[in-house]
Structure 1
Amino acid sequence: MSDEAPGIDVSVGDDGVQRITINRPDIGNSLSPLARDALIDAFTRANDDTRVRAVLLGAAGERHFCAGAGLAAGGRGSDAQRRPDKRPGDIARMLQQGWQRLVASILDCDKPVVTAVKGTAAGAGSSLVLASDLVVMSTEATLVEAFVHRGILPDSGAIHLLTRIVGLRKAAELLMLGEPIDATACERLGLVNRVAEPQDIDGVAEELVQRLASGPTVMLSMTKRLLAVSSESGRDRAFEQEAWAAEVVSYTADLQEGLASFAERRKPRFHGF
């Protein structure tokens, strides 16, 4: 697939779900710079679009969720790494403006992101999974931190994300050995939320994203932010941020609907932003 066609399909349904599909199965759903930037744009638009209440990320085909940066096509700036006239800072800038920015676009998206993993998620592709809020994984899928097999320093936020999910010792093992992790192990380590048979994964992912899309949007957005704060800062900052987030949520119509539905013993009908 040429870079003239990024291969990122995006649609917003009447249900408030923005569905993003990496549609590059002929090259393992690897990401060229153009595809990477199209993904960044999709998550940025999801964040800014008040129609969007939740995001579902998936990929075409069954073999690969995302094989990473597409080294064969220069996806990680491989030419820049080999170029004799490269300047100090070239690679750092490329990562900051590209792959780190992609992962940040998921982490910073105010809408909850559900990711369905049907095949192998490798390298930068695994970071897309790690950055998501909820993950459904096929029993036949695997996740592999493949950087060590190419002599590449783990990037795309992999060290930061893995350490906060599985802890220092296990992150070191996964990154330094680069062994594939099957769905059962991913669930045991807390890397994914649900494991489903291949024929069921779309339905399970849809059920989760629909639940999120019908939920109290501001509360979910604030919860996502506080989860990030709590994993990256001390108690004092986490408590301060929690208090201010509760202040914001207290003014939402969804909170009032939640209280009213409880009093009236009925299911709440959250209206969102």
Structure 2
Amino acid sequence: MTAPVLYQASEGVATLTLNRPDVLNAMNAELMSALREGVERAAADSEVRAVLLTGAGRGFCAGADLAARQSGGNGLSDSGALLRERYHPIILALRQMPKPVVTAVNGVAAGAGMSLALAGDVVLAGRSASFLQAFSRIGLIPDAGSTYFLPRYAGEMRARALAILAEKIDAEEAHRIGLVWKLHDDDVLQDEAGKLARHLATMPTMAYGLIKEALNQSFDNDLAAQLEVEATLQSRASRSEDCREGVAAFIEKRAPKFKGR
């Protein structure tokens, strides 16, 4: 049986590829289980210093596989339990992973597939990519983190419109409103995403992890509290081997050689 998620690690990068291209990588139980396993494997591997998440075929991820859920007999009757069991651990693991995560959106990212794309630290997209908060079309609310990510990235007004109107937006619009960092031509998206991930894998991984930790706390804190978070984390960063190397390289006017610790 074909693996629902492909895992490859090389040059310090773990590449996770959603691999159900015949259904635009729609999420079923097997894919979610394999994706969680892959994310946890990448987080635990000390040789992995960056993660790249993308989709096989012509789509990134079409969201939940509704046909599979209907055929399983439970329909959507307990979506909350499924979110807690299958989706939340993956989204949290990506955001809390002490390594940078690049998502490369090829084609459609809809529903929870859009949430998954936005869970990356740096979101890239091909020019033919599209984004859709499809939930309200079937009487649901955005989930898997979309109600968290959208207002923070695109602003509250846009978040409300995207969620309520459920209109598909193209990659150019997603880039314009702040959901995507950079756009690339479709035929070079994977190469550019891989190049970025490999670059991140040569950089100070510990500092990246602390940056993520600081940003994850920022919206819950007032200024004084966030200043204290910065000071606490900066103490840890300044004692790292990478910081010592970075300062020495700056003084010696040479390129640093970071080890990720």
Letter in 1 for 2:181: N
Work out whether 1:41 is the aligned partner of 2:37: yes
8 A Cα contact 2:69 2:76, kept in partner:
no
Q: How far has the Cα of 1:140 moved from its partner?
A: 0.6
5+ residue gaps, structure 2, are none
Structure 2 match to 1:157: 145
SS of equivalent residue, structure 1 residue 191: coil
Structure 2 length-normalised TM? 0.95
8 A Cα contact 1:71 1:78, kept in partner:
no
The 2-side partners of 1:32 and 1:102 are apart by: 14
Q: How far has the Cα of 1:207 moved from its partner?
A: 2.0
Percent of aligned pairs with the same residue? 37
Work out whether 1:57 is the aligned partner of 2:53: yes
8 A Cα contact 1:135 1:194, kept in partner:
yes
SS of equivalent residue, structure 2 residue 183: strand
Moved more, 41-50 or 141-150: 41-50
Q: 1:78 to 1:163 in 2, by over 3 A?
A: farther
Letter in 2 for 1:199: D
SS of equivalent residue, structure 1 residue 98: helix
2:9 corresponds, among 4, 8, 12, to 12
8 A Cα contact 1:6 1:32, kept in partner:
no
8 A Cα contact 1:53 1:212, kept in partner:
yes
Deviations 1:77-110 (A, max 9, x none): 872534xxxxxxx443321122222211211111
Structure 2 match to 1:118: 106
Q: 1:110 to 1:68 in 2, by over 3 A?
A: same
Structure 1 match to 2:17: 21
Structure 2 match to 1:87: none
Q: How far has the Cα of 1:68 moved from its partner?
A: 0.6
8 A Cα contact 2:52 2:101, kept in partner:
yes
Letter in 2 for 1:9: L
The 2-side partners of 1:61 and 1:231 are apart by: 36
Q: What stretches of structure 1 move > 4 A for 4+ residues in a row?
A: none
Structure 2 match to 1:30: 26
Structure 1 match to 2:157: 169
Letter in 1 for 2:26: S
Q: Pairwise CA RMSD of aligned residues?
A: 1.8
Letter in 1 for 2:60: F
Letter in 2 for 1:24: R
Work out whether 1:215 is the aligned partner of 2:169: no
Deviations 1:129-187 (A, max 9, x none): 11110011011110111101111121111111111111211100000001111111111
Q: How far has the Cα of 1:6 moved from its partner?
A: 4.9
The 1-side partners of 2:68 and 2:221 are apart by: 38
SS of equivalent residue, structure 2 residue 186: coil
Tell me how many residue pairs correspond in the alignment: 261
The 2-side partners of 1:38 and 1:232 are apart by: 32
Letter in 1 for 2:47: R
Q: How far has the Cα of 1:228 moved from its partner?
A: 1.4
Q: How far has the Cα of 1:39 moved from its partner?
A: 0.9
Work out whether 1:261 is the aligned partner of 2:257: no
5 Å matches for 1:223-242? 223-242=211-230
Structure 1 match to 2:132: 144
5+ residue gaps, structure 1, are 83-89
The 1-side partners of 2:256 and 2:73 are apart by: 52
8 A Cα contact 1:118 1:141, kept in partner:
yes
Q: 1:232 to 1:209 in 2, by over 3 A?
A: farther
Work out whether 1:79 is the aligned partner of 2:74: yes
The 2-side partners of 1:95 and 1:46 are apart by: 22
Letter in 1 for 2:142: P
8 A Cα contact 1:116 1:136, kept in partner:
yes
Deviations 1:18-56 (A, max 9, x none): 010001101110011121121112112222211110001
The 1-side partners of 2:3 and 2:219 are apart by: 34
